[in-house]
Structure 1
Amino acid sequence: MDMKKPLMLFIMSLIAFTALSQGSLSIDRFGYSDFRNSDGERVGSGSMLRTKAEMTLPITMKRDEANRLSAWGIRINADYSRLNNRETAAMLNPHEILNTSITLAHIRPLAGRWSMIAALGVGIYAPTNYIRWKSLLGNGIALFIYKINDELSLGFGGGLTNSYGPPVVMPMAYVNWQRK
Structure 2
Amino acid sequence: MKLLKTLLASAVAVAAMPALAYDAGDIIVKAGVVNVNPKEDNIDVGGAYAQIGDDTQLGVTATYMVMPQVGVEVLAATPFSHDVKLNGNKIADTKHLPPTVSAQYYLLDPASKLQPYVGLGVNHTFFFDESDDLKLKKSWGLSYSAGLNYDIDDQFMANVAVWKMDIDSELSSNGNKVADVEIDPLVFMVGAGMKF
TM range (shorter): 0.3 to 0.5
* Higher helix content, 1 or 2: 1
TM-score of the superposed pair, with normalisation by structure 2: 0.37
Q: TM-score, normalised by structure 1?
A: 0.39
Larger-gyration structure (1/2) = 2
